[in-house]
Amino acid sequence: MSISTALVTGASAGIGRELVRQLVIDRGMTVLAAARRRDRLESLAAELPEGRVVIEAGNLSDGGFRERLWDRAMEVFPGGLDLLVNNAGIGHYEAFEEEDPAMLREIMEVNLIAPMDLTQKAIRHMKARGRGQVMIVSSVLGFVGLPYSAAYSASKHAINGLVRSLRYELRGSGVRVWATCPNRTESEFHRVAMGEASGAEAGRAPHAEPVDRVVRSMVRGIDGRSTFQFPGRSARWVVGVARVLPRPFDWFMDRWSPGHFRAEMERGRSGSS
């Protein structure tokens, strides 16, 4: 199936920005790139061949923006949208009992409700054409838990349940919905989740994998058939150990991870490296 057009959300930084770059440069695609920060989108479009990146700035937590974004996709791609990439996501490191309810709602709106909304629109469009793909950027945290990331992990577990269910619904339709599930990746996501400002200095999380390598694996997944893909070197290992050795995995997480991630969170919020 020829794929030449894509809509990518969360395209201003990290995985989303690199996805746009690789889809344009390596796959020769035309991309509608969406994110909150227009200046970042404009700089991304300026880096790539003229006319290959169209931008739309707005907040995916706003249902009105999602309607406008979909209408823009239909305008930009009159021949049809081949690939929807639901990449946008937010997290916030905090003990669950201390989390602001407004933050809980925003995480669920961006990480779950927005992808469900756009995926529903895409399925209707793609089923009528008899072809198309929806890639959702999930996480290894859609399979395991992590201290101080309860809401984020819950949103990704829900996404994985959505993908599993749609696999059965869409069999024989020509439409593929799948999830790519990276481990921690080099981006500003980690520091922003700890409440720090985003920007060029807010880049690298400990033990993170290079974003270009992770995204290259994601892009290869477009040609595959898997419902769940694990890009990078560590993602499959983490999920595999949790599945095959659940008791040792839980023992390790019980004894090591709360203190480790609490210390990491406190270091990040204090501004130390």
Structure tokens at 254: 């019980």
User: Could you give the CA distance from residue 231 to residue 181 in angstroms, rounded to a whole number?
Assistant: 7
Q: Which residues contact 77 (CB under 8 A, 6 or more apart)?
A: 5, 30, 32
Q: What is the DSSP letter of 224?
A: S
Contact (Cβ atoms closer than 8 angstroms) between residue 83 and residue 5: yes
In angstroms, the CA 81 to CA 85 distance is 11
Length of the chain: 273
Strands 132-137 and 175-180: parallel
Q: Respond yes or no: is residue 93 known to be catalytic.
A: no
**Catalytic residue (one of 93, 148, 152, 168):** 152
Would you please indicate which residues are annotated as catalytic (active-site) residues?
A: 152
